[in-house]
A and B are shown apart, each in its own frame.
Chain A
Amino acid sequence: MPDDLYLMNVSLNFALLEYLVGAVLYAVSASWKKNLFLFARCFLFLGFLSHTVSMGFRWIRAGHAPLTNTHESMVFLAWSIVLLYLVFERVYRLRELGLWISLFALSVLAYATSFDKTIHPIMPALQSNWLVFHVMFCMLGYGSFAIAFITSLGTLFLQRTKRKGNLLQQLDFLSYKAIVFGFFFLALGIITGAVWGNRSWGRYWGWDSKETWALITWFIYGLYLHLRATRKWRAVSLAWVSVIGFLSVVFTYLGVNYLLSGLHSYA
């Protein structure tokens, strides 16, 4: 009888493999065999299932939600990106980006496996439901911004190739939708983090480097939303703001851990 740790690793490797096959099929379906598109989506969905199963086994093994260190949060981030993309693909019929999104999710998941994977018992400060919601909402937010980043790069690329028109407007709209979700999730993430901080050490805001960067990121996307709604900026300029916003996301999530010190050193 294989134990849950073994099953966790096997299903994670399966997820990686299925995402890779999904990416290849998306590439093939985009370039010449259009009818392969369904298979591509199938493999992405299979990967998503394996990914979910793997997180489930980790949850069982650890006895707490697997959202307490960099490896776990990044696995959840990759999961959020795929989930959000699958929803987006259904609702907004965006097929052109399947390749890039599955490659992106694949890289995030592969990168996640490079971090310490051992399950440690969690320290007292981290034993809180607020923490679970905090990490979940932040990762869903970052995942939405990742999708907006890819659609915005698409916008900028299309503008270069002078193939403007319908697709460019569609990508711009998708970036906007993804940013709306990201902005909402990040607001929830920052707020649940503040409530957790107040429960844990009586301080809802302490200008810790990570929370300050999260606020900076939220403000950048806040500017995006205003520039779009009241200033009527054009798709290409907005795409640049979205790209800058995503750089800020990356810095908030990873840069702060490596370059700055603070409360969030464990995640």
Chain B
Amino acid sequence: MQRLLRFLASDGFGLTLLLLITLILMIAALLKPETAWQYIYISPFFFLLWVFLSISLLCALFFRFRFRFKSLGSILTHACVVLILIGGAVSAFFGERGFIELEEGQSSDLFYDDADRTHALPFEIALKDFSIDYYPGQPYIKEFRSTVELREGNQLLRTGKIEVNGPLKEKGYLLYQSGYDEENPRKTLLEVVRDPGVPIVYTGFVLLILGLSFVFFVKPNLRNHAG
């Protein structure tokens, strides 16, 4: 048991895994996207690789790293990689995403995912208006937006605008302006996303940058001061 733990916590194991993942990603990124998704990104063995990497990092954190002020940055950085991976798993397993198509005046509380399965929303979306802005005197689109009302039963929750880069949030669901019907400019395409992994991943991002800053820019100066 002790020998197994020592092996899992070793830098040799961790670095070999990292190299293996890098090589597999190279293969995946050179394949056609559909093939890569089917055989790599959503396959159990790919998931297992990340699980092993997390285990290796956790074992190293608990059994190999020495907890001192000097190693704070390194500990934070490696812990954040695990945190981001956990967030990614939460997104993959507990997230929902799909699309709604609405014409002005229509409303719906259902959306459809990639596999055409129906998902229910805890509220109803009604499209009041859809508009496209062009750059003055040019055929280029500047912005397009949907004005919607969100209702629950007879009660109006809120009205709001959904723009590209400006999603609307309600009850954990985010509504994105994804596209529109080119033949019918009164019809909008919204993407619906519920992703409980995002807060975890974002926490990981912020702390990772703090950790790296400590390792690269604070720690070297600490050592100089100590002598």
Dominant SS at the A interface?
helix
A190 to B186, CA, bound (A): 36
Q: Which of A120, A123, A200, A202 has the most CB of B within 10 A?
A: A202
Task: Report the nearest A residue to B197, measured CB to CB.
Answer: A204
Which A222-255 residues have C-beta < 8 A from chain B?
222-223, 226-227, 230-231
Bound complex: CA A127 to CA B216 (Å): 32
Asked if B157 is an interface residue, CB under 8 A from chain A, the answer is: no
B14 to chain A, nearest CB (A): 8
Mark the stretch among A13-21, A26-34, A51-59, A206-214 that contacts chain B. Answer: A206-214
| Docked CA distance A213–B29 (Å) | 7
- Determine if B29 and A209 form an interchain contact, defined as CB atoms under 8 angstroms apart: yes
Contact across chains for A216 and B22 when beta carbons are under 8 A apart? yes
Enumerate chain B residues within 8 angstroms of A194, measured Cβ to Cβ.
201, 205
How far is A200 from B143 in the complex, measured between Cα atoms in Å?
13
Q: In the complex, which of the residues B33, B141, B143, B198 contacts A261, with contact meaning CB atoms closer than 8 Å?
A: B33
Does chain B have a CB within 8 A of A195?
yes
Residue of A nearest to B164 (CB): A124
Q: Assess whether A205 is in contact with B88, with CB atoms less than 8 Å apart.
A: yes
B19, B26, B165, B195: the one contacting A223 at CB < 8 Å is B19
A183 cross-chain contacts in B, Cβ below 8 A: 212, 216
A178-208 CB contact bits vs B (8 Å, 1 = yes)?
A: 0011011001100100110011111111011
Would B26 and A262 count as touching, CB distance under 8 A? Answer: no
B41 beta carbon closer than 8 Å to chain A: yes
Cβ–Cβ contact B198 & A204, under 8 A: yes
Q: A202: which of B28, B193, B212 is its contact (CB, 8 Å)?
A: B193
The residue of chain A having its C-beta at the shortest distance from the C-beta of B14 within the complex is A226
A204 touches B143 (CB 8 A): no
Q: Are A121 and B11 in contact (CB under 8 A)?
A: no
**In whole angstroms, how far apart are the Cα atoms of A263 and B205 in the complex?**
22
Query: Which chain A residue lies CB-closest to B201?
Result: A204
B212 touches A187 (CB 8 A): yes
A226-B11 contact, Cβ under 8 Å, with A202-B97, A212-B25 = yes
Tell me if A128 and B141 are in contact (CB < 8 A). no
How long is the Cα–Cα vector from A205 to B25 in the complex, in angstroms? 14
* B interface, CB within 8 angstroms of A: 11, 15, 18-19, 21-22, 25-26, 28-30, 33, 36-37, 41, 88, 91, 97, 135, 138, 140-144, 163-165, 167, 174, 176, 178, 191, 193, 195, 198, 201-202, 205, 208-209, 212-213, 216
Q: List 13 A-B contacts (CB under 8 A).
A: A123-B141, A127-B165, A202-B97, A202-B195, A203-B97, A207-B28, A207-B33, A208-B33, A212-B25, A212-B29, A219-B22, A223-B22, A230-B11
Residues of A within 8 A of B (CB): 120-121, 123-125, 127-128, 180-181, 183-184, 187-188, 191, 194-195, 198-205, 207-209, 212-213, 215-216, 219-220, 222-223, 226-227, 230-231, 256, 260-262
